[in-house]
Structure 1
Amino acid sequence: MTKPLKCISVEEATQLQDNWLATRAIYIEQGLGGADTREFLFSVEELQEFLDYVKSESEEQEIDNPGVRIYFAAYNSEENNKATVFLAPTKGTDENADNNYKIDPMNTVIGGWPPKNY
Structure 2
Amino acid sequence: MSKPTKCISIEEAKELQNNWITSRGATITSSRGAQDASDFTFSLAEMEEFLAYVRAESAKLGVLNPGIRIYFAAYNNSKSTKATVFLAPTNGSDENASNNYDIDPLNRSNTGWPPNEY
Query: Taking structure 1 as the reference length, what is the TM-score of the superposition?
Result: 0.97
Runs (4+) of structure 1 moved beyond 2 Å? none
Q: Matches of 2:101 and 2:24 in 1, distance apart?
A: 30
Correspondence for 1:42: 42
After superposition, the CA RMSD in angstroms is 0.7
Correspondence for 1:24: 24
- Give how far 1:94 is off: 1.1
Structure 1's unaligned 5+ residue stretches are: none
Which stretch shows the higher mean deviation, 19-28 or 42-51? 19-28
Matched AA of 1:30? S
Contact 1:41-1:108 within 8 A present in 2 as well = no
Q: Matches of 1:60 and 1:38 in 2, distance apart?
A: 35
Contact 2:89-2:105 within 8 A present in 1 as well = yes
Structure 2's unaligned 5+ residue stretches are: none
Question: When the two structures are aligned, how many residues end up with a matched partner?
Answer: 118
1:51-84 deviation digits (Å, cap 9, x = unpaired)? 0000000001111100000000000013211000
Give 3-state SS (helix, strand or coil) of 2:111's partner.
coil
Indicate whether 1:93 and 2:93 are aligned.
yes
Query: Taking structure 2 as the reference length, what is the TM-score of the superposition?
Result: 0.97
Matched AA of 2:71? Y
Q: Matches of 1:43 and 1:29 in 2, distance apart?
A: 28
